[in-house]
């Protein structure tokens, strides 16, 4: 998942087309700056998650990775339900499912990795 996210970060620097699929509500403008900012956050989160994958028993790293998913989940839900810049569809469904599933999985599996 981290490798795919890094690819997503790269594309955010090259084009706004994929970012516009997430933020697709009417009257929502996605600028190159917005796409690059989104790409930068995604790159940072990907690095933390990749580090956690190789240091899964380290509680601090595990918590940092979990927080990256919590922040992403909060962001996507707020853009959809509060700010109305995103519409539920193919561009938003993936990030919502991955972030929610990851939060649930990491909380449920906490005791298996952190002792």
In tens, the pLDDT along 49-80 reads 999 999 999 999 999 999 999 999 999 999 99
* Residue closest to 53 by CA, chosen among 44, 41, 42, 61: 61
Candidates 64, 19, 50; CA nearest to 37 is 19
74 contact partners, CB below 8 Å, separation of at least 6: none
Q: What does pTM read for this prediction?
A: 0.92
* pLDDT tens sequence across 23-41: 999 999 999 999 999 999 9
Question: How far apart, in whole angstroms, are the C-alpha atoms of residue 66 and residue 27?
Answer: 33
Q: What would you measure as the largest C-alpha separation in the chain, in angstroms?
A: 49
Q: Which helix (H) or strand (E) holds 76?
A: helix 59-77
């Amino acid at each position: 998942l981290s490798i795919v996210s890094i690819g997503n970060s790269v594309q955010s620097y090259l084009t706004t087309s994929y970012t516009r699929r997430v933020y697709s509500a009417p009257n929502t403008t996605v600028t190159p700056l917005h796409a690059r900012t989104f790409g930068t956050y995604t790159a940072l989160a990907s690095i933390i998650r990749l580090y956690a994958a190789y240091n899964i028993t380290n509680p601090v790293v595990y918590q940092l990775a979990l927080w990256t998913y919590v922040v992403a989940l909060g962001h996507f839900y707020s853009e959809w339900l509060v700010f109305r810049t995103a519409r539920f569809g193919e561009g938003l469904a993936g990030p919502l499912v991955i972030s929610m599933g990851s939060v649930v999985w990491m909380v449920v599996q906490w005791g298996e990795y952190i002792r």
